[in-house]
Amino acid sequence: MINGAKPSDYGLDLAVIGNGRTAALVEPGSRLVWWCFPRFDSDPVFSRLLAGDEDKGFSDVVLENLSDVKSSYVRNTAIVETVLTDSKGGAVRITDFAPRFQNLDRIYRPPQLIRIIEPIAGSPRIAIRFRPTHDHGIPIANHTLGSNHIRYWGGAAQIRLTTDAPLSYIEREASFVLTRPVHLIFGADEPFPSALEATCRDFRDRTQSYWREWVRRLNLSYDWQEAMIRAAISLKLSNFEETGGIVAALTTSIPESPGSRRNWDYRYCWLRDAYFVVKALNRIGATQTMEDFILFIINIASGEPDTLRPVYSVVPTDSMDERDAPHLKGYRGDGPVRIGNAAADQTQHDTYGSIILATMPMFFDRRLPTPGDETLFRLLETMGEKAKRLALEPDAGIWEYRGRSRVHTHSVAMCWAGCNRLAAIAQTLGFLDRAAYWNDAADRIHTTLLEKSWNESRQAYTAAFGSDELDASILLLPELGVIEANDPRFISTVAAIERELLRDKHVMRYASPDDFGMPESAFLICRFWLIDAWWASGRKQEARDLFVDALQYRNRYGLLSEDIQIHTGALWGNFPQTYSMAGLILTAMRLSRSWEDRYWRG
């Protein structure tokens, strides 16, 4: 960090509002800078985040003579409140949210954003600006005013702003004195059927009640509850509930590091990442996301002719062809902006194990209303057969190398884990012959894995068979059950990773050149993996200290991206990153004191 500044001073200081169907990013000053409409991977109506120095693709509230900004989440919700104060003592409060609540025995979650602007002191003068885009960054030039709305259209995009604010002021971006609350609804080009003010306030209250009740049901340990709650809500907001898919992040093309061109579209469902999300939410009692994700998997697996892809759209049949968006200059002008992701065409064998591990609780968690049965087991066996067959074949690996293929240790370990868990499931279902079959398959993979991934000269398990390179994903071997955390070879591996991948308390994925040269940023979840390894091997105080240090890199809203710049602490990479937020929850739950420890044992 520079001059004692907080990491949040260096960008990606954004909040997320959403409802399980749509989501938007809000800057501290109230500017909405990213909103894909009507779903996570759609064309962005608000694209300012990736517009470089061009003032397009946003909506904000401009307060004359602005002197102070305060912005935070309403406690235990996905609602953001921002207070803008002017130099004369005037102030406005801006409340932003996406409606989500129980209605007629189902969740109401329209592709809609609501903004309420209220005067709370003095006579503030504001301007309301609304500058939507279409076709990934082209300003929408066409609009027409109705009695209480402005309709915008361009290309295939149509968007309506319904409001009780003066339409002519909004059209001209003219300032006016705010003497009463005004309400804005961003959504589909269709008439709003209810009284605007009463409906917006009712939706706010019901959305607030929904989130507080959802948080209330979480099963959290004592320490770091606030951090876990915020992480859990952010994970929930990344779940496209209509199909059950869980996106890796809500953005595309925020570089992993400045000038790296490591700009990827993460608005899709990586089966590997979703496993970590499901695991984290299950750990704190939010099981519905897992059940929805299993339906997502079943829909994919039952229709796949041969090989699963590692990543899918939230509507699995949709194309993910990768292309550039020429009308967006990129985050801070750092392009290119990519739409779609060519990783969908890669071979990544850990996918099969990820599916089996994500589904395993269905057979063992007695809280679930519909337990796993023989039909689900037989479907998972088809995944296991692929894991068994492909475990020792080259692939692109967890880090999705685009220019090389190897037998990656993590991929082999995940294939082993899939076979191992199938044996356990078969055992609990009483299919003893299948349990023996899968135990034999797992044993064969396990023997080769431990032999081929060990590098005697490096005294470490390495990234791939026959490789000298280290890889942070090896830290997951004890968590998967491949090896004990106190095994001398694993202890030696951790020591090697500390020497070569630990940089100023941050952990690199790897430290060797790839398709884009030498990586420069650290990967946030890798720090959590190292902390878990330390904890499991008995280095408990070191683990707690490194975790507490990690928490300071969250932005003002408690969120993390994918990557971190080592020397500045700046957040980079797509945002908010489900990998990072899931890692925070899992590590916090592992390290935290129990309620009994806190109250009865001191």
Chain segment 504-526, per-residue pLDDT in tens: 999 999 999 888 899 999 999 99
* Measured CA distances, 305 to 49, 302, 382, 539 (Å): 39, 8, 11, 47
Same domain, 119 and 170: yes
DSSP state of 331: B
The verdict on residue 561 lying in a domain is yes
Question: What is the Cα 485 distance to its own chain's centre?
Answer: 28
**Domain that includes residue 444, residue range:** 217-600
Q: Total structural domains in the chain? A: 2
Chain segment 338-353, per-residue pLDDT in tens: 999 999 999 999 999 9
Chain segment 63-121, per-residue pLDDT in tens: 999 999 999 999 999 999 999 999 999 999 999 999 999 998 899 999 999 999 999 99
The span from the CA of 493 to the CA of 482, in Å, is 14
Average pLDDT of the segment spanning 305-328: 92
Phi and psi for 567 in degrees, rounded to 5? -90, -15
The verdict on residue 7 lying in a domain is no
Would you say 373 and 359 are in contact if contact means Cβ atoms under 8 Å apart? no
Same domain, 443 and 471: yes
Across 505-527, b (16+ Cβ under 10 Å) vs e yields ebbbbbeeebeeeebbbbbbbbb
The span from the CA of 423 to the CA of 353, in Å, is 13
Same domain, 209 and 225: no
> Of the candidates 203, 33, 42, which has an alpha carbon nearest to the alpha carbon of residue 109?
203
Strand partners, 460: 455
The verdict on residue 376 lying in a domain is yes
Same domain, 384 and 404: yes
Same domain, 280 and 348: yes
> Of the candidates 289, 300, 217, which has an alpha carbon nearest to the alpha carbon of residue 247?
289
- Secondary structure of residue 420 in the 3-state scheme: helix
The span from the CA of 242 to the CA of 259, in Å, is 37
- Look-up: residue for tokens 């082209």? 138
- Secondary structure of residue 80 in the 3-state scheme: strand
The verdict on residue 193 lying in a domain is yes
- Look-up: residue for tokens 């034999």? 440
Average pLDDT of the segment spanning 191-197: 88
pLDDT for position 4: 39
pLDDT for position 600: 56
pLDDT for position 8: 42
The verdict on residue 6 lying in a domain is no
Same domain, 514 and 573: yes
Average pLDDT of the segment spanning 271-276: 92
Would you say 526 and 507 are in contact if contact means Cβ atoms under 8 Å apart? yes
Residue 41 scores a pLDDT above 50: yes
DSSP state of 140: P
> Of the candidates 472, 482, 592, 479, which has an alpha carbon nearest to the alpha carbon of residue 536?
479
Would you say 299 and 243 are in contact if contact means Cβ atoms under 8 Å apart? yes
Chain segment 390-423, per-residue pLDDT in tens: 999 999 999 999 888 999 999 999 999 999 999 9
Average pLDDT of the segment spanning 205-223: 97
Same domain, 221 and 204: no
Would you say 464 and 406 are in contact if contact means Cβ atoms under 8 Å apart? yes
Largest alpha-carbon pair distance within the chain? 79
Same domain, 439 and 568: yes
Chain segment 130-162, per-residue pLDDT in tens: 999 999 999 999 999 999 999 999 999 999 999
Would you say 74 and 61 are in contact if contact means Cβ atoms under 8 Å apart? no
Q: Which residues contact 343 (CB under 8 A, 6 or more apart)?
A: 264, 270, 310, 311, 396, 400
- Domain final residue pick, 185, 213, 241: 213
Residue 595 scores a pLDDT above 80: no
Same domain, 542 and 431: yes
> Of the candidates 375, 449, 383, 371, which has an alpha carbon nearest to the alpha carbon of residue 418?
383
pLDDT for position 598: 67
pLDDT for position 307: 78
The verdict on residue 9 lying in a domain is no
Across 130-157, b (16+ Cβ under 10 Å) vs e yields bbbbbebbbbbeebeeeeebbbbbbeeb
One-letter amino acid of 453: S
The verdict on residue 439 lying in a domain is yes
Would you say 552 and 540 are in contact if contact means Cβ atoms under 8 Å apart? no
pLDDT for position 127: 98
Kindly report whether the global pTM for this prediction surpasses the value 0.75.
yes
- Domain final residue pick, 196, 213, 230: 213
Under the banding of pLDDT at 50, 70 and 90, the label for residue 359 is very high
Q: Which residues contact 348 (CB under 8 A, 6 or more apart)?
A: 272, 310, 395, 396, 397, 398, 400, 411
Same domain, 99 and 200: yes
Phi and psi for 227 in degrees, rounded to 5? -65, -40
- Domain final residue pick, 155, 181, 213: 213
pLDDT for position 601: 55
Same domain, 312 and 414: yes
Under the banding of pLDDT at 50, 70 and 90, the label for residue 599 is low
pLDDT for position 302: 79
CATH number of the domain within which 529 lies: 1.50.10.10
The span from the CA of 487 to the CA of 464, in Å, is 20
Q: Strands 44-46, 506-507: parallel, antiparallel or unpaired by DSSP?
A: unpaired
Average pLDDT of the segment spanning 29-53: 97
The verdict on residue 177 lying in a domain is yes
The span from the CA of 580 to the CA of 390, in Å, is 28
Residue 254 scores a pLDDT above 90: yes
Would you say 296 and 269 are in contact if contact means Cβ atoms under 8 Å apart? yes
Question: How many Cβ atoms sit within 10 Å of the Cβ of residue 302?
Answer: 9
Q: Strands 502-503, 460-461: parallel, antiparallel or unpaired by DSSP?
A: unpaired
> Of the candidates 136, 327, 107, 229, which has an alpha carbon nearest to the alpha carbon of residue 559?
229
The span from the CA of 155 to the CA of 57, in Å, is 15
Would you say 184 and 118 are in contact if contact means Cβ atoms under 8 Å apart? no
Same domain, 229 and 200: no
Residue 542 scores a pLDDT above 60: yes
Would you say 121 and 90 are in contact if contact means Cβ atoms under 8 Å apart? yes
Please provide the average confidence, as pLDDT, over all residues in the chain.
94
If one compares 371 and 560, the residue with the highest pLDDT of the two is: 560
